[in-house]
Each structure stands twice: as C-alpha cells, then as structure tokens.
Amino acid sequence: MITKLATPGVYIDEISTIPPSVAEVDSAIPAFIGYTEIAKRYADGDLLMKAHKIDSWSEFLLYYAGKNSLGLGRPPLESSAGVAIDINEKTSDGTATGTTIDYEITVTKVPASLLQYNLYYAVKHYFDNGGGSCYIVAVNLQPNPVVFPGEIETGLDLIQEYDEPTMLCVPEMVYMSTADYNSTVQKMIAQASTLQDRLALIDPHVVTPESTTNPNGTISADVAIIRSAANGSVTENRYAAAYFPFLETTYSHGFDFDALTIGTHTKALTGVPVPSYAGGPISAIGPGSALYVKLKAAVNTAYVTLPPSGAMAGVYARVDSAKGVWKAPANEAVRNVIKPNLDISNREQENLNVDSLSGKSINVIRTFPGYGPIVWGARTLNGNDNEWRYINVRRFFMVVEESIKKSIQWAVFEPNTASTWVKVQGMIDNYLYQKWQQGALAGAKPEEAYFVKVGLGKTMNAIDILEGRMNVEIGMAVARPAEFIILKFSHMMQTS
C-alpha cells in the first residue's frame, strides 16, 4: 500500500497474493560423538570438543584421521598384538617328503588388544551407506586407555546447542561399563525428547557371539541391557530407536602389516633347511613370496566389527533422499557388511520386535538368502504406542514440525487478524498438499489426509488474541508401513 501520495503521477503498488512457502529442513544429519586420532582444521585450529559439520568422507580424513607417509588419511594404527597369526605348511601329497608346499594361514583377532574406538569406521559406514552431511564432536584424541563417559556426555551437552542435527550416534558406548552405558543412553534419549527435533540411535552394549556353550548367543540377556538402559517414560522413548546385533563389515583394521609378528610356524618338510618364521616379523618374509601374499590376504580378512548406528544413519539418509522421510527405513540393504555377527531367527526376533511388557521394540539386522544383510525392523523404543510406534511416523512429524516452525517466524508480531490467519493457513496447506501428492499422507482426497485450522472461534477465543496467542491446529494421516503382510489362500471349486 502506497502510504504517501503528494506528487501527481502514476504509482505502482505490487500486491502479494501468494502465501509464504514452507522451506523443508534436512531430515538426516547425524551427530557423531566420540574419539578421533587428530582434530584439527587448518583455518579454525583445534577442533577438540567442538561440533564441526562435514559434508564428505574426504573431509573427515582431512580433519580427524591420522596420516600415512604420503600425507593421506588412514585408519587408526593398531598394535601388532591385535592379531595372532599362525602358519601351517602343507605339502602336495600330505607327507613330510612332498615337493610342493602350500600354506594354511590362521588369523585370529585379539579384541582386548585392539583399539577401543569406533568413530572412524562408524563415520565411514555412514557415508558408504548413503550419508551426506553430518556433525563430528571429537571429545578427545586416541589413544586414551578407556572411553570416559564424562567426555561423551560433555559432547552430548555441546551438540544440544545446535539446531541442525536430527540424529544422535555414540558408537563408543559399547566400550563403557554397563552403568556408564545406561547413563549415556538415558542422556541421549533425554536430549532427543527435550528438543523434539532428533532421534537417538541406540547401539547394543554387548552382543554375545554363538559358541559351543551358547549356540544361539545370549540374545535375551543382551537385549535386556538395552531395555534396562532406556528406562525413561514412553513419551521419551518415542524419540529413540535401537538396533541389534553388531555388524561384521568389509573394512580391515589399520595394522602395520610388515611389523606383525608370526605366532607359530608348523613345518611341512623334515630335514629341509627352510627357515622358521615363528616369533619373527612378517618383514622377514620376502615381499614377493607366495607366503607373504597369502599372509596379507589373510590379515585383511580380520574384518572390523561395528555397532549398527553409523550404518543406520546412512540408511536413513539414503531412504530419505530416494523415497522420502515418510518411508520406513527397513527392508533396506546394509552396505559394506559381510554379515551380522549373530544370526537371528524369526522366533528369536518375535520377542525383540514386540515386547508386550515394556513396549521397547528392538530392530534387527538379519541376513536373508539372496538378499544379504537387511534392516528388518522399523519401530521406535515406544513400540506399543499406536501413534508413535514407527520410526518414519516419528521422523516425518519432526520434519514437518521443524519446517513449519522455522517458516512461520515471519508471523511473529504480525497483526493477529484474519489476513494473517489466511496467509498462515494457506502456507501450511500448500506444504501439506505437496506431501500428500508425494505419498507421505494417506487419504484419497486432501481433506482425508490432513487439516489446518486457525482463526477466532476455531482455534482461538478473545482471551487468546488479547494475550497475543495465535493457535494453529494441524492434523496429518501419515502413511504407515505394511509391517505384516498376510496372504490368505483358499481352494476354488471347479465350475466347468
């Protein structure tokens, strides 16, 4: 509206007839809290105990990874005590006088002597599974003797001040004591439920592998630790999702190969002056020899086992990008995984997916013939709640709430009158109509999929307006996943 007309002439007044639009926030930006080998950016200096956003794996290698002789990022260096290597020589005919020698190499990981840190590989797993941007909070440098829960919790406090992250990942929690694990899980869930704009991804504390004494592992006991740690209210648990078990990845540990020591070396031939390498370094073996090549291939198969949160954050990002945040992040392949470190059957998953007592559902990653490792669960830790049972429903509401909250800032201090209400309603209506068209909302018609109400006599009374409150009511019928598909077959009688 032209406010001053003092000089004769023609004036132009542009009238806005299009309501403001809702700019959707990013739905999959995890925050990784843990330990790195370095934490330094050239321009910003020290990155320790700072939340720093990166957009690629190469950035992580540049700022947080140790460097090789060429100045390139490399995995954390492991101690040679991290693996036990045994060589068994064999002859072609199985006798002590055969002429052709073959080698049987046994490489066994020694978990107690491996670095007790997962952040490097968890972030790599995130990017390899389709992840994009993420935040890194390096709480201290490796190698520390233990993971200090106080440092992790300080890192969680730090990321709480940042608005952009939508997921919390603490892959180092598996190395904590049970009490510290419980405290960390509770702090993650409390932050997510307080801010209501992020989801806590909970890793198992321990996954007991199958053995002769435990042919099926100890799934019930291991899962009970997760459920015991998530001891908040059902309102809080709807902001968390737990995954089980650990994952055997395709990543190799960062050993200095030539410095590794041979354990035992069983000789195949008698009376032949072939050197024994027992107790010596691999460097003593000729680099071009068949034994050297076989040893290198065998050591590379001592794969890294990881908690699933990093991969799952990548799966979330991949599904959001390809289909939308309203699609359940399940029945999706987990990349760079050989297998879960524990096979789980249908019967064993029953008690994980549906817990009639506590309602704390645990999502499982399983291997199916012809498909490989698959995410086979899409429930929050509030699995008995019909409203907030599914991860995609919780995350879609978070995205819509945050997007509308940020986009409606312009209306603060605007006149609380019909003209403003019409703009607000039109803005939100247009946004939800697009979501309905994309398939996020269920309903044959828009009015069956969502509603937006605002106005005097609808969502406000005279007191609300006098006290400066503009109430907007929004309802959405979010599409829910077909978790149980039931096929009913019957015999049809011959009719001719």
C-alpha closest to that of 450 among 466, 424, 468, 428: 428
Burial of 244 (0-12, 13-18, 19+ CB in 10 A): buried
C-alpha closest to that of 393 among 353, 360, 441: 441
pLDDT confidence tier of residue 145, bands split at 50, 70 and 90: low
C-alpha closest to that of 29 among 127, 124, 118: 127
Out of 11-15, 35-39, 48-52, 401-405, pick the least confident: 11-15
Residues 6+ apart with CB under 8 A from 312: 201, 241, 243, 329, 334, 375
What's the whole-number mean pLDDT along residues 150-158?
A: 95
- The mean pLDDT of the chain is 90
pLDDT confidence tier of residue 209, bands split at 50, 70 and 90: confident
Measured distance CA(328)–CA(332) in Å, rounded: 9
**Per residue, what are the HEC states of 77-114?**
EECHHHEEEEEEEEECCCCCCCCCEEEEEEEEECHHHC
pLDDT in tens, 13-41: 777 777 788 999 999 999 999 999 999 98
Of residues 218 and 470, the one with the higher pLDDT is 470
Residue 98, pLDDT > 60, answer: no
Helices (H) and strands (E) in the chain, counts: 13, 22
Q: Identify the pLDDT of residue 99.
A: 60
Q: Identify the pLDDT of residue 488.
A: 78
Q: Identify the pLDDT of residue 422.
A: 92
Residues in the chain: 496
pLDDT confidence tier of residue 97, bands split at 50, 70 and 90: low
In terms of pTM, does the model score above 0.75? yes
Q: What is the CATH number of domain 30-73+117-251+304-392?
A: 3.40.50.11780
| CB atoms near residue 136 (< 10 Å) | 25
Measured distance CA(358)–CA(385) in Å, rounded: 11
Element (H, E) at 365: strand 362-368
Out of 14-18, 112-116, 288-292, pick the least confident: 14-18
